[in-house]
């Protein structure tokens, strides 16, 4: 069975290679603005992942298992997306400083043959240490925060800010491998 990852994210691609090298990448053209946030982060991130997987299913003409995923960072029920600029990145990191926030990833597996769809999510609590303004500015100067939800990457320089996590590390990177592997097996896909 052909496996397709519906994501342009290099982090997700790299993580999926820990499970298998036998997959294709087809970037979803799903318009995420079609899904409105109703205050439920878990449901929202699963709907985004589902939209991505189904959008890819509409453009391929093959038997495949499509993996869709989306990750978001939330603090006090508010979503922190990718920063618009360095000031936005600074404000996000200042907000996260010394606090616990949540990282949600929605995962969807869609089988184009059976039309079966499996949807789930993972939530990880992340505790940041207290950050000085100097530390935040130095980190922003690396450029790393600019393409990451919540303005940091745990797998990069931003990892030094993380005091502890409760839950799946790979979820914070962008693809919860344990959950994905379990869901694939439930769909009859053994990697």
The candidate with the shortest Cα–Cα distance to 168, out of 160, 176, 158, is: 176
Distance (Å, rounded) from C-alpha 60 to C-alpha 58?
Answer: 6
Angle at 154 between CA 104 and CA 141, to 5 degrees: 120
Query: How many CB atoms are closer than 10 A to CB 181?
Result: 16
Active site residue 70: yes
Enclosing H/E stretch for 51: helix 41-57
Catalytic residue among 24, 40, 70, 147: 70
Catalytic residue ranges = 70
């Amino acid at each position: 069975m052909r496996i397709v990852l519906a994501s342009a994210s290099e982090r997700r691609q790299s993580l999926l290679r820990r499970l298998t090298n036998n997959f294709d990448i087809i970037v979803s053209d799903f318009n995420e603005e079609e899904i409105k946030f109703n205050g439920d982060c878990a449901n929202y991130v699963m709907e985004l992942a589902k939209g991505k997987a189904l959008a890819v299913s509409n453009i391929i003409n093959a038997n495949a298992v499509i993996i869709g995923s989306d990750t978001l960072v939330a603090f006090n029920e508010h979503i922190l997306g990718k920063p618009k600029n360095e000031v936005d990145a600074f404000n996000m990191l200042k907000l996260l400083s010394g606090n616990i926030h949540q990282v949600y990833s929605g995962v969807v597996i869609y089988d184009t043959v059976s039309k079966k769809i499996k949807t789930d999510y993972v939530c990880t609590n992340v505790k940041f240490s207290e950050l000085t303004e100097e530390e935040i500015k130095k980190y922003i100067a690396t450029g790393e925060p600019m393409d990451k939800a919540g303005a940091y990457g745990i797998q990069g320089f931003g990892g030094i800010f993380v005091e502890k996590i409760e839950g799946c590390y790979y979820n914070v990177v962008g693809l919860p491998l344990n959950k994905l592997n379990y869901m694939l097996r439930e769909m009859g896909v053994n990697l």
